[in-house]
Amino acid sequence: MKKTIFTILICGVMILGLTGCNNSEKKDDNDIHTFEGTIIECEKESMIVSPNENTEEHKSSDKFRIEYVNGFNSCNVGNKVKITYKGMINESYPAQIGTTNIEVVKDFDFYVTKPQVHNDIRFNDYLTFSDRKIYLAGNIGEFYVVDGKTMILKEYISNANRTMDDSIKSITDKLELKDTLKDGGTKIYKSKDKDITMIVCNTTKNDRNILIGDYSMEYTEGDCKN
């Protein structure tokens, strides 16, 4: 009798365990996930994508076969893409997933133009935003940002979907940090290729202006107090 009861209990536990597992799988099958990666091979009905190294998907596989969906026809090796998929990862090689959407990720970029005559070495008031000011040196005509479309810096920063700090960081992340001053943390960024210098002020006196000039521009004491 005791043996029969013990057997029934064991079976009950096993059934509950299997039910729990089935529920878990069902939930996972409905989960929506996204990751970004780079196209490394284009095929007739699919492409091979290498996930970015900081993604969870990269831990599963360095290559995913992505079936074309929603009329996608923009496969170009080297393009960045954002993949949306549903459910679990099929651990074949390359790995396979239930792709629901493919989006080409536009590369963020920026550049400056110069006036035909740029003898003016003053900083010119360009934009006041969230109690901070951006100044362009006289050797800069305009600052353009390419983020899906080309826009001037004023338009990019004024976008309601991001803060001014986020906008500036997206630019300085692509520049080389040359110096951090001992005035509270003012940072000087440069790029010779883009012919840009950005001074992001952060002094102990709460001077938080941003100064933009060409590569030759150097910081002089008092610049952050404009």
Q: DSSP string of 168-224? A: HHHHHTTSEEEEE-TTS--EEEEETTTTEEEEE---TT----EEEE-TT----TTGG
Cβ pair 97, 75 in contact under 8 A: no
Tell me which of 31 and 14 has the higher pLDDT: 31
- Establish if 14 belongs to a structural domain: no
Q: What are phi and psi of 6, to 5 degrees?
A: -60, -40
Task: Kindly state the DSSP code that residue 122 receives in the 8-state scheme.
Answer: S
According to DSSP, the residues that pair with 67 across neighbouring strands are 46
* Rg, the chain, Cα only: 27
**Which H helix or E strand runs over 146?**
strand 142-146
Confidence check: pLDDT of 206 > 70: yes
Confidence check: pLDDT of 42 > 70: yes
Q: In terms of Cα–Cα distance, which of 110, 86, 88, 102 is closest to 37?
A: 102
Same structural domain, 144 and 219: yes
pLDDT confidence of residue 79: 84
Same structural domain, 140 and 153: yes
Number of domain units in the chain:
2
- 4-13, 44-53, 103-112, 145-154: range with lowest mean pLDDT: 4-13
Q: What are phi and psi of 142, to 5 degrees?
A: -155, 155
pLDDT digits (tens, 9 = 90+) for 89-121: 998 999 999 999 999 887 789 999 998 876 666
- Per the structure, the complete domain to which residue 139 belongs is given by 109-225
Same structural domain, 118 and 92: no
Note the pTM of the prediction, 2 decimals.
Answer: 0.58
pLDDT confidence of residue 22: 41
Cβ pair 176, 193 in contact under 8 A: no
Same structural domain, 202 and 131: yes
Same structural domain, 96 and 128: no
